[in-house]
Amino acid sequence: MARPRIHDETVRRRLLEVSSEIIAQQGAEALSMRKVATAAGTTTAAIYALFGSREALIEAVVIEGFTRFAEHLQSVAHTDDPAADLLELGKAYRTNALDNPHYYRVMFNDVYGSDTTEHVDETFGMLVTAVQRAAQLETSEANMRAYRLWAYIHGLVSLELAGLTGSYDNATDHETAFVAALRSAASLIWESPQ
């Protein structure tokens, strides 16, 4: 009788990394267990042992992306300057996307069929709380302004990941441009909608 093979966290993480790259670059329809196993240097049996199915693997990739995103946002300290904290939250959003570009692309792509509502609500809730703190707003108004800010940040980051933000000499120049754009956006967002 053969001994069951145990697959550790290192194998699991490698499978998630490889899967996120395939989905981000080729779409979820291109994800096959054989392709993932080959790229990860393991077997399809390892994937099934760790995830159970292709759909569960895709969902695990999405959850991993949102987990990393939440960790970046939660790393922002709360100070007695809520406006500065909000700016730091925007920078954490960008840092997460740059650190995890494949996961970032997968998280905001609807082809995987995973229900991300809970994960989106959790991360969006952090932004709403920061907006409420910074602007002393009621929840409904904070939601509206947080949504506008999220859309702006997401657009800036997506353009940067696509290489469409202009030519800067280094990462510091990109961050400086991002922060300047974020400050401009924040000033527009604080204005009441027409």
Rounded Cα–Cα distance for residues 157 and 107 (Å): 14
Domain ranges of the chain: 9-190
What radius of gyration do the chain's Cα atoms show?
19
Residues 10-31: pLDDT tens digits? 999 999 999 999 999 998 889 9
Residues 66-102: pLDDT tens digits? 999 999 999 999 999 988 999 999 999 999 999 999 9
pLDDT of residue 183: 86
Rounded Cα–Cα distance for residues 117 and 146 (Å): 16
The model scores a pTM over 0.75? yes
CATH of the domain spanning 9-190: 1.10.357.10
pLDDT (average), residues 108-112? 65
Rounded Cα–Cα distance for residues 94 and 1 (Å): 51
Structure tokens at 168: 């800067």
Question: Which of the pair, 35 or 152, is modelled with greater confidence?
Answer: 35
Residues 163-191: pLDDT tens digits? 887 776 666 788 888 888 888 887 766 66
Q: Would you list the DSSP string of 67-102?
A: HHHHHHHHTSPP-S-HHHHHHHHHHHHHHHHHH-HH
Rounded Cα–Cα distance for residues 76 and 79 (Å): 9
Backbone angles phi, psi at 165, to 5 degrees: -105, 15
pLDDT of residue 190: 66
pLDDT of residue 121: 87
Contact call for residues 134 and 82 (beta carbons, < 8 A): yes
